[in-house]
Amino acid sequence: MTDQPLKPCPFCGSATAPTLIMRSVSHHVECARPAAGGCGTRGPYKSFPQDAIAAWNKRADQSKELAALRAFALAVMDCWPDGWGIDGDDLKDIATEHGMLVPEIRNSPCEDGCWCAEHVLPKEWTDGVVCYRKTALLTGVEI
């Protein structure tokens, strides 16, 4: 077994509900059912207990990212079912509010395939252009 402590559930936040479930050939961490103060989420099945705990704890570390993605999805879905649409500026504002985009003043294109490079006049670069860069939350890649 391992001395590594279990982190709180990334979905319900319970610090007491997660439990290591050990079987003969596989192990996983499970959050207790709602009646017992959890949400019933199960972590991935692993061959070794320490791997099951590590996988659970990695997902627990992503709870802030999951909350941000959930908040973004809820904000986008606010348009449904009333029928009003979301235009590009609305989507950009919602993504910025929830940490998926970050505005950056640029005086030159940021990279190959830069959206701004295709839509900004050359003289505008002199004064600076607001470029909305994708964050690690959206790309999945830490910078």
Contacts of 95 (CB under 8 A, 6+ apart): 72, 101, 132, 138
The encoded tokens of residue 17 equal 């509900």
List pLDDT tens digits, range 4-41: 899 998 888 888 889 999 988 899 999 999 889 889 99
This prediction has a pTM of 0.56
pLDDT in tens, 42-81: 999 999 999 999 999 987 777 778 788 888 888 888 877 7
* pLDDT score of 32: 92
Give the Cα separation of 18 and 87 in Å (integer): 41
